[in-house]
Amino acid sequence: MSLSNTIYFDNVSKVQLIALKSDFEKYINAALASSTRSSYQSDLAHFISWGGTIPSTPEIISQYLAVHADLLAPATLSRRVVSINRAHTSQNLPSPTKSDLVKATLRGIKRTVSTKQRQVEPILKNNLCDMVAGLEGVKGCRDKALLLIGFSGAFRRSELVSLQHSDIEFVEHGLVVHLRKSKTDQLGEGRKIGIPYARGAVCPVLALKEWLKLSEISEGALFRPVTRHGRIENINLSTQAVAIIVKERAKAIGLDASKFSGHSLRAGLVTSAAQAGVSSWKIRQQTGHKSDAMLNRYIRDARLFIDNAAGLIF
């Protein structure tokens, strides 16, 4: 891209971003979750700041992909294409992302780069029990409840921090969580998740009861920030805080914290359940997945050594 073009795009990018933000949000604000809208807007801002335009052309998009092939993961580039497509279709514009040129460019990048999408390590049941052992004080009590509920409910971190006191119901067999909305439930129909009392010494239901008793939370956010002086703030815990807590506890028991994230709780429930022989439809009942497709990568890894061909021979 020439210097004159760069200067031109620098001049128009701010104007175009403002206009795009207005039009884009108008059409998708009610249809998408806030986190999804934020991702789309971030992707479009990057595309436009580089020199892209809305509407765009197959040639411009393909050039954008080629320039960033060695800088961004194929999965990130694929998401950028989805965002660019949405920017067009939401304004009833023909989408250049559907062209053979764009598809071929993205396919070629995936084959050439062959970058394996990062997959975080799951927190398995035995890891979880070690992570919550010995947690004390206000923060320790909160972290114990958060980790156990996050794992048992197979919650995404955004779902976990959005839980309100009014969303939970203690019943004879444990806890019912009324999840009002999630990533795969854009219409907000909601669903119920059952978390039973545990048979062992580590119980998510009892841990949550202990946290509620200690914090005296009777309404509002279930999980909240705790200051270093033990004061509980009256706001929702952030999604970033969940990841930090997971990493801190993983490191504390000798695991490589860089391999774990907030998603490790959800992945851990799926993997642990698969190892225990739980059927995929029962796992989906807990996770909210619509099909087995997204579960298969966890289930395959979990069952690598179950009835293993080599193991049955030696």
The per-residue pLDDT for range 81-137, each reduced to its tens digit, is 999 999 999 889 999 999 999 999 999 988 887 544 456 889 999 999 999 998 999
pLDDT in tens, 58-89: 999 999 999 998 888 888 899 999 999 999 99
Which two tokens mark 224?
A: 């909240």
Active-site hit among 284, 289, 297, 303: 289
In which element (H, E) is residue 98 found? Answer: none
Active-site hit among 64, 80, 157, 298: 298
Catalytic: 263?
A: yes
- DSSP per position, 24-79: HHHHHTTTS-HHHHHHHHHHHHHHHHHT--SS--HHHHHHHHHHTTTTS-HHHHHH
pTM of the predicted model as reported, rounded to 2 decimal places? 0.65
Q: Please identify every stretch of the chain with a pLDDT value under 50, giving residue numbers as ranges.
A: 1-12, 14-15, 18, 27-28, 30-31, 115-117
Catalytic: 68?
A: no
Catalytic: 88?
A: no
Active-site hit among 80, 142, 156, 247: 156
Catalytic: 183?
A: yes
Catalytic: 289?
A: yes
In which element (H, E) is residue 116 found? Answer: none
- Residue 83 CA to residue 175 CA, distance in Å, equals 38
Active-site hit among 14, 26, 173, 183: 183
